[in-house]
Amino acid sequence: MAKNTTKALAYHVSHSKDKWVIRTLGQPSVGRSTVTASASPHFYSTQLEAVRVARAEAKKSGASLVIHGLDGRIVDVDRYRDRPLASKLIPARQ
């Protein structure tokens, strides 16, 4: 029998209420058809600290890292996988 687990597709670092937060976007669990987001984000004092943690997790899990600026716009995207789904979720930089 298949196990119901959610694997991260992307780690997003963004600013929220004077803190930097890491939120994960996960692929659907077995038997589910929607993409899921993390229920409990992690907060950090600086963007650099949040990016370091998120980058390590993204590399470890083969996910993407999406870094947002203070205004919420995407300032950088790093991909640590070869799966085609990543390119559908996050447009490539030009």
Number of domains in the chain: 1
Q: How far is CA 34 from the centre of its chain?
A: 16
Per-block mean pLDDT, blocks of 10 residues, the chain (94 long): 59 94 74 54 92 94 94 94 54 54
Q: Which domain covers residue 36, as residue numbers?
A: 8-84
The CA radius of gyration of the chain, in Å to the nearest whole number, is 13
Backbone CA torsion sign across 3, 82, 60, 64: negative
Residue 49 lies in a domain: yes
Model pLDDT, residue 38: 60
Model pLDDT, residue 1: 41
Residue 38 lies in a domain: yes
